[in-house]
Structure 1
């Protein structure tokens, strides 16, 4: 119940346009809202594209029943953007790690070459 109170404190008019007087339906709306918030609180990498699509559908549903959930829609879009940036960053990181491995191999090969070339000539080599 503390979560519901917090929602009403931060967004006092979010339920002012709900058309239904049916308490069971209002409870269902709140349950959908709370489940949606719980979903949005997960790590972006834990959420699948299907999860995000369902969250979008839930936001649409809640807005269609009269709840003012523009703040929630913004958070969902932020989460989608975070997930996108996270995957882009992971892909870049993987490419950089591969490049680093290639450079490390080249450095090792070059060090071996330098060691082979850094040998003093013997007397018989000179004469």
Structure 2
């Protein structure tokens, strides 16, 4: 059984002169987490470093979690310059922190007119998903202390295989929650990854996750998308096709969606113009009406 909990939270770093600072702890799943920033780059001078840290002590025996995290440093002047980075990592008692030592160069972050600083502060948005896999077929706990010690000494590879965190589907290691979706993709498009020949498993998984995110984006309702969203999706799709994925079927759908969205946006803009014109015309009529009322009132007063 898989338990997953995700949270999105904001942190404002107020002092960029400090060597290290931490956000307020937030509970996700059965552990407390916080962001740790090194505004001066710490070991990686010249860069702003940003990490996610598990701070619950003590952690339960055998505790191990698969964590996906995304960090965003907001640019208040130009959204296109906002910095986004994503990653994933297994956390356990020996690995309690991970992130990016080179989140963003300080030369880009600190200029007053760069857009990242607002009243001398920077805004960070974190999206953290914690995946816990519970083996419902495991045997009951044994009270014998020697048996518990033996279980606790198992390697991380043993734990991963036992919990069946990922499953191989057509050469890709995918999470349990993604298995049905990925199987359906290959059943409908058997030649999906025929020209994709990378051997590095982590990179292969990254490409698969990019494809799944792309499909998720295109499944959103039209009102939740904009032309900019579809253009970003188009860039992702182009990268996947260049890497050898057979996605012409998705290209057609995306082109159709983009064409419809452009027409939709143009129609919306035209209607907004018409509404604005009619509002101005109505304001003119109301002004004329008030003038006529005033004139009529003045005429009656002169008659009196």
Common topology (TM > 0.5): yes
Matching of residues 15-94 of structure 1 within 5 Å:
15-94=193-272
State the alpha-carbon separation in 1 of the partners of residues 261 and 221 from structure 2: 9
TM (norm. structure 1) is 0.69
Stretches of structure 1 that go unaligned for 5 or more consecutive residues are 105-127
State the alpha-carbon separation in 1 of the partners of residues 226 and 264 from structure 2: 13
Stretches of structure 2 that go unaligned for 5 or more consecutive residues are 1-178, 283-304
Which has the larger displacement, 38-47 or 69-78?
A: 38-47
CA deviation string 1:60-88 (max 9, x = no partner): 11111111111111111111112112123
Larger Rg, first or second structure (1 or 2)? 1
SS class of match (1:68): coil
How many residue pairs match? The answer is 117
- The structure carrying a bigger helix percent of its residues is 1
- The structure carrying a bigger strand percent of its residues is 2
State the alpha-carbon separation in 1 of the partners of residues 264 and 227 from structure 2: 14
8 A Cα contact 1:44 1:83, kept in partner: yes
Offset of 1:13 from its aligned partner?
0.3
Structure number with greater CO (CA < 8 Å, separation at least 6) is 1
